[in-house]
Amino acid sequence: DTGGSILGVFPHATFEEETLQLEPGDVLVAFSDGVTEAENGAGEQFGDARLASTALAHRDAGPETLRDRLLDAVRQFSAGKAQADDLTLLVLRYLGG
């Protein structure tokens, strides 16, 4: 729930910080706004809820497969509509120390 402005645009921007403790097997998905703001033909956005639902449905997959499933879901939702922004995803699985 912690967030702020986009990174790198405003030279004096301040951001909230939050620390999370990852447990072995936890997955971190970082994404650009182009992923959640991808639109379908009706102008509806993919959104955070669809992203989370898709990630949960494939949470046991490897990072590469999870990334591919997320991007596939966005592309299917958009049904060929041209993207207005980039689709950038980073998927990490914490294996523990």
Percent of the chain with pLDDT over 90: 70
Question: DSSP letters along the chain, please?
Answer: ----SPTTSSTT-----------TT-EEEEE-HHHHT-B-TTS-B-HHHHHHHHHHHTTTS-HHHHHHHHHHHHHHHHTTPPPSS---EEEEE----
pTM of the predicted protein model:
0.83
pLDDT digits (tens, 9 = 90+) for 10-56: 888 888 888 999 999 999 999 999 999 999 999 999 999 999 999 99
